[in-house]
């Protein structure tokens, strides 16, 4: 197994189990304005910036309301959504195997970067209870002043690789969302996707076009990586 030059990590749904909480917050906000969101719609919001999600939810509300009723502004929508999200996200738990995966990268001497659509303040809120995430010092946030476009554009991964001083094509990227997977794929990374449990095999190809490396769990990935590295060392010895 050839190790990458660096590992680039998404945060929500990949390292922290926040996506159901984000979904709950968007669902409650949309319902407040008269529209329930489907499972496929909630999946499509994953990995995107808060403002991009708000724009999409407002478009869905406009479809439901028609021309007769005004659509809430972004500010009005977020005024409902943000307090719900903040109350939920501080309770987010690690994805099983996530601390161990970062520990494996650290033992291998692999540079790491966070490539997230979440704002700096949101990341600070979510990561505060999780000191193991301090292993990732280099971070690109969704509101980073150097970030031109959010996921599914490749910019966040290209910028993360640039800050580590490596080529994105030599990196492994870890994602859970369709938007994030597409961004990492377009950046040229070797993409590993941890998809939502509820998706059937035929739905994976539809939701994640071009992706071939799906993970069943991070714990299994770590066990596989450790076995591969042990075999490589034994062979070299």
pLDDT value at residue 154: 98
Spatial CB neighbours of 45, under 8 Å, sequence gap ≥ 6? 22, 23, 26, 53, 56, 57
**Fold entry, domain 6-18+92-236:** Rossmann fold (3.40.50)
pLDDT value at residue 236: 47
pLDDT value at residue 180: 96
- The pLDDT tens digits of the residues spanning 56-111 come to 999 999 988 776 678 999 999 999 999 999 999 989 999 999 999 999 999 999 99
- The pLDDT tens digits of the residues spanning 155-201 come to 999 999 999 999 999 999 999 999 999 999 999 999 999 998 888 88
**Position 229 confidence tier, pLDDT thresholds 50, 70, 90:** confident
pLDDT value at residue 31: 96
- The pLDDT tens digits of the residues spanning 198-214 come to 888 888 989 999 999 99
pLDDT value at residue 41: 95
Catalytic residue numbers? 10, 12
pLDDT value at residue 232: 64
Domains in the chain: boundaries: 6-18+92-236, 19-89
- The fraction of the chain above a pLDDT of 90, given in percent, is 84
- The pLDDT tens digits of the residues spanning 13-52 come to 999 999 899 999 999 999 999 999 999 999 999 989 999 9
Question: Span 19-89: which CATH code?
Answer: 1.10.150
**In the predicted model, is pLDDT for residue 235 greater than 80?**
no
Instruction: Strand 171-175: give its sheet, edge to edge.
Output: 138-140, 112-115, 6-9, 171-175, 190-193
19 vs 23: CA distance, rounded Å: 6
pTM: 0.86
Say if CB 14 and CB 95 are below 8 A apart: yes
């Amino acid at each position: 197994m050839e190790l990458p030059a660096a590992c680039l990590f998404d945060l929500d749904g990949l390292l922290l189990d926040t996506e159901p909480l984000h979904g709950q917050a968007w669902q409650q906000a949309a319902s407040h304005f008269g529209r329930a969101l489907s499972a496929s719609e909630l999946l499509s919001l994953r990995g995107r910036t808060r403002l991009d999600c708000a724009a999409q939810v407002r478009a869905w509300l406009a479809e439901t309301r028609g021309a007769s009723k005004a659509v809430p502004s972004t500010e009005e929508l977020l005024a409902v959504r943000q307090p719900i999200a903040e109350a939920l996200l501080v309770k987010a738990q690690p994805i099983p195997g996530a601390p161990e995966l970062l520990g494996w990268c650290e033992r291998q001497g692999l540079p790491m970067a966070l490539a997230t659509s979440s704002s700096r303040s949101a990341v600070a809120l979510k990561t505060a209870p999780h000191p193991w995430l301090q292993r990732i010092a280099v971070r690109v946030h969704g509101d980073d002043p150097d970030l031109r476009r959010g996921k599914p554009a490749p910019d966040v991964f290209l910028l993360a690789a640039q800050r580590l001083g490596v080529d994105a094509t030599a990196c492994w990227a870890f994602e859970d969302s369709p938007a994030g997977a597409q961004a990492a794929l377009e950046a040229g990374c070797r993409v590993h996707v941890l998809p939502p449990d509820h998706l059937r095999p035929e739905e994976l190809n539809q939701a994640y076009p071009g992706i071939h490396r799906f993970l069943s769990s991070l714990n299994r990935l770590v066990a596989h990586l450790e076995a591969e590295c042990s075999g490589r060392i034994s062979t070299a010895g």
